[in-house]
Amino acid sequence: MAEQKKLSVAIAAGGTAGHINPALALAEELRERGHQVTFYGQPNKLEGTLVPEAGFELVPIHVNGFDRRRPWTLISAAYNLERAKSQLHKRFREQGAPDVAIGFGAYVELPLLQLCAKLHIPYLIHEQNSVTGLANRVSAGKASKVCIAFPEARKAFEGRVKAQDNIVVTGNPVRK
């Protein structure tokens, strides 16, 4: 039997343990199977502590969300998003792009997944909640697969993905 190719996997997760811990559970399984996993996130947020403690590299991404009640904050969010994509693109040119990317929600996933879409690198997203977040809804359109923890989340992605069979109920990954 032919040996399976070892992949370079980029994971973006941040903000809360609800995003980070399922990402770490998947990353640990991928690492056990011999794949190279690199996290992308904000070093000054929770992922800046949890990811290195689990033994994974954290590539810093500096982005900020925006407050929908204060629309002017969208200006700095858009600027920082474009700057982060530019920095990631430079890293990919210098160190190699991942084979696949996975977003676990939160605005920190946007630069990685948008760049992957531009470069035709396949990516998937995972939604841990029954009520989907904005970043995952935005990223769903070009995702190869949309993984959801709860069937109720399917409605938020219908019409955003190319084929409904691209939405898969997987549950939440749990750490050992």
Q: Which pLDDT value is given to residue 42?
A: 95
Quickly list DSSP for the chain.
Answer: -PPPPPPEEEEE--SSHHHHHHHHHHHHHHHHTT-EEEEEE-TTSTHHHHHHHTT-EEEE-------TTSTTHHHHHHHHHHHHHHHHHHHHHHH---SEEEE-SSTTHHHHHHHHHHTT--EEEEE-SSSPPHHHHHHGGG-SEEEESSGGGHHHHTTTSS-GGGEEE-------
Q: Which pLDDT value is given to residue 163?
A: 67
Q: Which pLDDT value is given to residue 37?
A: 98
Q: Which pLDDT value is given to residue 66?
A: 79
> What domains lie within the chain, and their CATH numbers?
8-169 (3.40.50.2000)
- The predicted-structure confidence for 63-74, as pLDDT tens digits, reads as follows 988 788 888 888
Q: Which segments in the chain show pLDDT lower than 70?
A: 1-3, 163
